[in-house]
Chains A and B, each alone.
Chain A
Amino acid sequence: MKANAESILEVRDLVKHFPLTQGIVVKRQIGAIKAVDGVSFDLHRGETLGVVGESGCGKSTLAKLLMALERPTSGSVRIHGRDITTARGSELKRMRRNIQMVMQDPYTSLNPRMTVGDIVGEPFEIHTDVVPKGGRRRRVQELLEVVGLNPDHINRYPHQFSGGQRQRIGIARGLALQPEIIICDEPVSALDVSIQAQVMNLLERLQNEFDLAYIFIAHDLSVVRHISDRIAVMYLGKIVELGSDAQIYDGPTHPYTQALLSAVPVPDPEGRETRQRIILQGDPPSPANPPSGCHFRTRCWKAQDICAEQTPALEARPGSDHPSACHFAEARDVVNAQ
């Protein structure tokens, strides 16, 4: 943990509401999808912040806001003190080189008509000064090799690879410019365990070598724990708990975090008959119409009247040592209790 390292990314009160419109000729706004709804955190040089939460809670939207691929409704994203949300033109291009992304969906994020060499080497075409033209092919082949692909396959097309292999192409591309910050949106979810371990080791090796900072979005909580120094748990556009990996895993205080951890299957059949699980019912509510007060209250087994009336702030409370957005935050070990 690099607790005293400098902050290279400062996110403050970040909000992204997508307008919900009705009507074809005359569009009327009838509401908003609150994809990201007031998120604040810092990222330090060389650290990994894990981001977990259910599908639709706003993780990818947050990632796109940090990359300035989406404009926020409000709030700021400062990289070395400069707000990327207001940057334009060549300044934006320069800032973007420093913050790269590995995409979530290997099927749609790769252009089917480009060869693997062109896809991985594309950042060098945009940022022409990184690798001289003559060395690009070799550099691309090196990148293919580090992500576990055969460098001889540089002229193949994405459809000639399996889903897992396609994901590796995206990772090679994200690594190409060696940025300071890499946002990994589900980077290993589609990978086999054996290759997943290689890629995680690779990410950690690159991190140590170049002092990279990662924002690591994933739904595999054991993977997130392995790589993260701190973890943010999101629910319906908000961070509901934020702490070190040990604080989150050994003493989660938010009921949602507890349910999430408890749902993770343990890779050991011993004692599986007696394992206790918190199984949440139903799906998360729509972010267009989140419940009043605490967004989690419709699925929470601890909910009281106050939960519908007052939105719990993300803060440390008596009896808990890290920020949690629950009126009744209380540590409970759900992992080791199994």
Chain B
Amino acid sequence: MTEVLSEQMGRGSHGGALLEVDNLHVEFRTRAGVAKAVNGVTYSVDAGETLAVLGESGSGKSVTAQTIMGILDMPPGKITGGEIRFRGVDLLKLPDDQRRKIRGEGISMVFQDALSALNPVFPVGWQIAEMFRMHRGTSRADAKKMAVELMDRVRIPAAKERVNDFPHQFSGGMRQRIMIAMAIALDPEILIADEPTTALDVTVQAQIMGLLAELQRDSNMGLILITHDLGVVADVADKIAVMYGGRIVENAPVHDLYRDPAHPYSKGLLESIPRVDQKGQELYAIKGLPPNLLEMPTGCAFHPRCPYRRDNCVTDVPPLYTISGTRGSACHYWREVIDEGER
């Protein structure tokens, strides 16, 4: 982050966390109708902290991330409400050139599919070097040297010899390392990793997660880890935001969420993990289908699938109830959900 920008953005002078997403609303105008992809998402992450965003496919995890990064497709996308504050400054109100500056230097992102995110016709070293040339005006020779250093840092073996190789010449895990190298090139304060290991083997996943943790420790980055892997979350998260139908339905420190989930959806997720002692039995499965964003259910969006549902759930939208200073649940009956323990 450059001096000018950090000053402008009031380093340390605001009261909140480093990055705060506040009541964000995003819609997609499609021919079939208006898809309400993000319906009031609120979460925050601080320097050195790992926030895991969990939620099922289509729940708005990536759209939220794209909006933070300022890379949402508009149209069809449209931001209809909320703020995204980075160091207290609302990014949604910043002019394009400042926004571009923050992208990469303040906040950067690792995408799920490393092969399609890398340009197939340029050598990987060149693509990493471009980050320095575009943002910093670094000379060609220096940028290349820095690219090799970065490739070393993310442990690409023989980085110096491989700097001129093309993306297809690397394995999936190595391509993901190269994506990470590009994302950390400009020393961002926040790194968003959107399913960074979903396409990779567990052995490589363990390497990549280890690498992310180490980079985070070294530079005290805030990390937003988007994933649906409850194992990875349990391993690395400090706190968790669970999304459903474009909303945060539960937020909690990692231990609390795994010990006593406070929302029926999170609870259902945890119970549907295959466990050794349940071999041969039916897995617990949340019944029904994810909501249709074009026609969100009335009241609580989870009500058609919820085993705790009562009459008022169909009509009254649950607010994000405060359970404690660090926990919240968007369920009218969160007390019951916590108290009941394991089903």
Chain B residues with Cβ under 8 A from A123's Cβ? none
In the complex, the answer to whether A195 meets B234 with C-beta atoms within 8 Å is no
Chain B residues with Cβ under 8 A from A283's Cβ? 171, 173-174, 204
Chain B residues with Cβ under 8 A from A245's Cβ? 279
CA distance A265 to B207 in the complex (A): 12
Known: A55-B201, A263-B205, A272-B234. A164 touches B57 (CB 8 A): yes
Check if A135 is an interface residue, CB within 8 A of chain B.
no
Chain A 258-294 near chain B by CB (<8 Å), digits 1 or 0: 0110011111111010000101101100000000000
Nearest opposing residue in chain A for B257, CB measure: A269
In the complex, the answer to whether A268 meets B157 with C-beta atoms within 8 Å is no
CA distance A249 to B277 in the complex (A): 13
Known: A148-B289, A283-B173. A226 touches B283 (CB 8 A): yes
Chain A residues with Cβ under 8 A from B311's Cβ? none
In the complex, the answer to whether A226 meets B235 with C-beta atoms within 8 Å is no
Chain A residues with Cβ under 8 A from B287's Cβ? 198
Check if A219 is an interface residue, CB within 8 A of chain B.
yes
Check if A304 is an interface residue, CB within 8 A of chain B.
no
CA distance A223 to B56 in the complex (A): 18
CA distance A225 to B280 in the complex (A): 10
Least CB distance from A202 to B in Å reads 9
Interface set, chain B 12-31, CB cutoff 8 A to A: none
Check if B269 is an interface residue, CB within 8 A of chain A.
yes
Check if B48 is an interface residue, CB within 8 A of chain A.
no
In the complex, the answer to whether B206 meets A197 with C-beta atoms within 8 Å is no
Chain A 157-169 near chain B by CB (<8 Å), digits 1 or 0: 0000011110000
Least CB distance from A54 to B in Å reads 4
In the complex, the answer to whether B203 meets A259 with C-beta atoms within 8 Å is yes
Q: Which of B56, B210, B234, B282 contacts A266 (CB 8 A)?
A: B234
Interface set, chain B 52-99, CB cutoff 8 A to A: 56-58
Q: Which of B157, B232, B283 contacts A265 (CB 8 A)?
A: B232
Known: A54-B203, A267-B273. A194 touches B234 (CB 8 A): no
Chain B: number of interface residues, binned into ranges: 35 or more
CA distance A195 to B59 in the complex (A): 13
CA distance A285 to B235 in the complex (A): 28
Chain B residues with Cβ under 8 A from A263's Cβ? 202-203, 205-206
Number of A residues near B (Cβ < 8 Å) is: 46
Least CB distance from B33 to A in Å reads 12
In the complex, the answer to whether A198 meets B255 with C-beta atoms within 8 Å is no
Chain B 147-167 near chain A by CB (<8 Å), digits 1 or 0: 000000000010000000000
In the complex, the answer to whether B56 meets A192 with C-beta atoms within 8 Å is yes
Chain A residues with Cβ under 8 A from B172's Cβ? 55
Of B101-109, B124-132, B223-231, the segment with at least 4 beta carbons within 8 Å of chain A is B223-231
Chain A residues with Cβ under 8 A from B229's Cβ? 265
In the complex, the answer to whether B276 meets A225 with C-beta atoms within 8 Å is yes
27 contacts across the A-B interface (CB closer than 8 A): A162-B57, A190-B198, A191-B57, A192-B57, A192-B228, A193-B230, A194-B286, A204-B282, A219-B201, A226-B278, A226-B279, A265-B202, A265-B206, A265-B231, A266-B234, A266-B235, A267-B231, A267-B233, A267-B270, A267-B273, A268-B234, A268-B258, A269-B235, A270-B258, A277-B206, A279-B203, A279-B207
Interface residues of B (CB under 8 A from A): 56-58, 157, 171-174, 198, 200-207, 209-210, 228-235, 237, 254-255, 258, 268-270, 272-276, 278-279, 282-287, 289-290, 292
Q: A192-B228, A263-B203 are in contact. List 4 more A-B contacts (CB 8 A).
A: A55-B201, A198-B287, A221-B202, A264-B231
Interchain residue pairs A-B with the least CB separation, the first 5: A265-B231, A164-B57, A226-B274, A197-B285, A197-B272
